[in-house]
Amino acid sequence: MKTYAVVMAAGKGTRMKSDKPKVVHEVLYKPMICHIVDELKGLGVDGIYVIVGHKAQEVEKLVDGVEFVLQKEQLGTGHALMQARSVLGDKEGTTIVLNGDAPLITKETLKGLIQYHNDHHLQGTVMTCDCDLDKKFGRIIKENDQVTGIVEYKDCSPEQIQIKEMNVGEYCFDNQALFKALEKVTNDNAQNEYYITDVLKIMNDDHLNVGGYKIADLAEVGGINDRVELAEATKQLQLKVNKKHLLNGVNIIDINNTYIGVDVEIGPDTTIEPGCIIKGKTTIGSHCHIGPYCEFDNVEIKDHVEIKFSVIADSIIENGVDIGPYARLRNHCHILENVHMGNFVEMKKATFGKGSKAAHLSYIGDATVGSDVNIGCGTITSNYDGKNKFQTVIEDNVFVGCNSNLVAPVTVGKNAFIAAGSTITDEVHEDAFAIARSRQVNKEGYSKVLEEKRNQINKK
């Protein structure tokens, strides 16, 4: 039996008060829609269909491995689902339908929903939860303890408002029964919308089996409708992720002040100091010391690495490296074993060889640096002529004196020595000493002459 998933993500999300569509907003540095799609991929379904509408392209560019279905006008969740008829309507199997604004849903909970649906031989199942009555969720209507329908908050009678069991916006259906029932959904209600929720009553009236899968905790499926709920979801997920890492042996000093994305992996005996934001597909090995105050995005960090007060993106850091404070690495840097990179060093698209050092105040861009190289304080690769970028190659064991400019394209051969303050424009050969600056001139006794001159000016 095949299982399909539909995510309803076409809505604008008016209450977010944003130019961006709601599902693009990030929970713990990852867009809502990506949380949901990744969870569905983990669950393993036979097809994922994402209904897009409001600013569809902004949603589409974030996700791959799914089929997008356009809902041109957002006329309600039932209408959203109807748009999938041409791609899904004929298929035999089970379809789960998810609200796009509940990004904390887990595959375990969805498994529970599908299992319940199958075990009870249902054609339509709604996930429910007992909630506080101030929630504006649809109310679950039951007769003799059997679900017979859902009434939207705005359509509820005063008695129905008092029902605690509510719809959390996740469903499971027999696919063909779903599309048959959708044909009968109308927009005859308080909001003049086509509601997916009507499907349950329609199925029940048609003598199909419908039911409710009640979960104990609203936390995963509370739904995000405004920025308060967005911030609350981020806090909730932050603590959940941090606790997972603590239990895996990661030493997180302050769980409230450390932000680790859901796709990050960290090895045991690594310490994370406060103020770190670690996101994307970052991996950190074991016995590392990270922070305080680092931001990593898509970084691969091996073991025994120390990094403090630094911003690193899209780079690889090998074993035993120490970086910071105040370093910045971006755009595919590869920092090899036992490198020391110190204060205020920026690297971009650079490979920095084993045991090499750039201890202070340097910019190394579009460069390949060999092993055991010393980059003196203030060294700069001049990689840009205003239009194009050029490569600098520094071979093994080179010593670059302080405050040197390496004007690319340029190569410095093995064991070469560059005198401090040089502006290197031509190739430096292996074992050579390069000095490229004007000679110092000393005028003996001239400081006294200068003083005389200054005094005469003051007298005038």
The residues that touch Ca ion, with contacts defined as CB under 5 A, are: 101, 223, 225
- Would you say 173 and 116 are in contact if contact means Cβ atoms under 8 Å apart? no
Contact partners, residue 139, CB within 8 Å, separation at least 6: 150, 151, 153, 156, 160, 161, 163, 165, 166, 167
Selected binder of ligand UD1 within 195, 259, 293, 296 (CB under 6 A):
195
> Based on C-alpha coordinates, what's the Rg of the chain?
31
Nearer to ligand UD1, 166 or 264 (CB): 166
Would residue 360 show up in a list of annotated catalytic residues for this protein? yes
Q: Choose the catalytic residue: 287, 289, 334, 360.
A: 360
Nearer of residues 85 and 289 to ligand UD1, judged by Cβ: 85
Measured CA to CA, the distance from residue 165 to residue 163 in angstroms comes to 6
Binding flag, residue 196, ligand UD1 (CB under 6 A)? yes
What residues from 215 to 254 belong to the interface with ligand UD1 (CB under 6 A)? 223
The reply on whether position 152 binds ligand UD1 by CB under 6 A is yes
User: Least Å distance between CB 101 and Ca ion?
Assistant: 5
Q: Which is nearer to Ca ion, 101 or 152 (CB)?
A: 101
Pure H helices in 171-278: 175-182, 198-205, 227-247
Binding segment for ligand UD1 (CB under 6 A), chosen from 162-170, 228-236, 301-309, 342-350, is 162-170
The Cα 291–Cα 314 span in angstroms is 18
Mask for 131-150, x = binds ligand UD1 (CB under 6 A): ------xx-----------x
The partner in contact with residue 125, picked from ligand UD1, Ca ion, none with C-beta cut-offs of 5 to 8 angstroms by kind, is none
Report cis status (omega within 30 of 0) of the bond before 103: no
CB 277 within 8 A of CB 299: no
CB 433 within 8 A of CB 415: no
Task: Tell me: does residue 366 bind ligand UD1 (CB under 6 A).
Answer: no
Asked if residue 10 binds ligand UD1 (CB under 6 A), the reply is yes
Judged by CB, which is closer to ligand UD1: 70, or 246? 70
Residue with tokens 């974030």: 62
Considering only residues 6, 11, 103, 259, which one is a binding residue for ligand UD1 as defined by CB under 6 A? Answer: 11
Residues 298-327 binding ligand UD1 (CB under 6 A) are none
Measuring CA to CA, which residue among 113, 117, 51 is closest to residue 87? 51
Q: How many CA atoms lie within 13 A of 161 on its CB side?
A: 7
Footprint of ligand UD1 (CB under 6 A): 8-11, 22, 51, 53, 71, 74-77, 79-80, 99-101, 137-138, 150, 152, 166-169, 195-197, 223
Question: Would you please indicate which residues are annotated as catalytic (active-site) residues?
Answer: 360
